[in-house]
Homo-oligomer: A and B are copies of this chain.
Amino acid sequence: MHKKQISKAVINRLPRYYRYLGDLLEKDVVRISSKELSDKMKVTASQIRQDLNNFGGFGQQGYGYNVEYLHTEIGKILGLDKKYNIIIIGAGNLGQALANYVDFERRGFYVKAIFDINPRLVGLSIRGIEIKNIDELKEYITMNQVDIAALTVPKAKAPQLAADLAKWGIKGIWNFAPTDLHLAEDIIVENVHLAESLMKLSYKLSEKNKANDK
């Protein structure tokens, strides 16, 4: 298949397609038209057709999409046909929430170890995954295959820690610290900025209130 450049907007929408198709699979739906998928996802059918055409188009005129096939193929595009070993750095509530999230495993993301600086947490286990002392981090990364490090540490600690992780060979960082990490170009950083999400909500609430006041 000839590979076109896929726009970032399309890529950003793929996980949502994947989620909807997974939900349909769970309900034993075998096929779906772009119209039905459009009704469910609240995007236009033409948007769906256009998005999926980027990948050669999975639909068949008059039949629609084969749900399982489309789910598998989008999964491959998203790299979900591989396994990823994750470590979580920061065993606070958020780190524990991530460690407990078994759904990640279904998609090939395996939490292998958790690290913390707090001696009261070190040695405890979450779902059988031991919380290790952060002093062991470098050795662990050197001795084990680690694909992704999730950072749930305070803002002030994140930049140095991320720089160290990159130096030690980590290629993917899932960053929950409320700061941007500026690393070498070949390190991939995906941010989850909770406070910014909350601000978008307050923006919309406040816009709505202004409209109502008029």
Could you tell me which A residues sit within 8 Å of B by CB distance?
11-12, 14-16, 18-19, 23, 41-42, 77-80, 82, 84, 92-94, 96-98, 100-101, 103-104, 107-109, 147-148, 171-172, 174, 178-180, 182, 186, 188, 190, 192-208
Contact = CB atoms under 8 A, between A and B. Distances in A.
19 contacts: A15-B195, A15-B196, A19-B195, A78-B202, A78-B203, A79-B207, A82-B202, A93-B93, A96-B97, A97-B97, A98-B194, A104-B195, A108-B202, A109-B202, A147-B205, A172-B201, A174-B201, A188-B201, A190-B201
Contacts of A19: 178-179, 193, 195-196
Given A19-B178, A205-B188, A200 B12 contact: yes
B188 A204 contact: yes
Number of copies: 2
B203 A14 contact: yes
A205 B178 CA distance: 22
Nearest to A42: B182
B194 A101 contact: yes
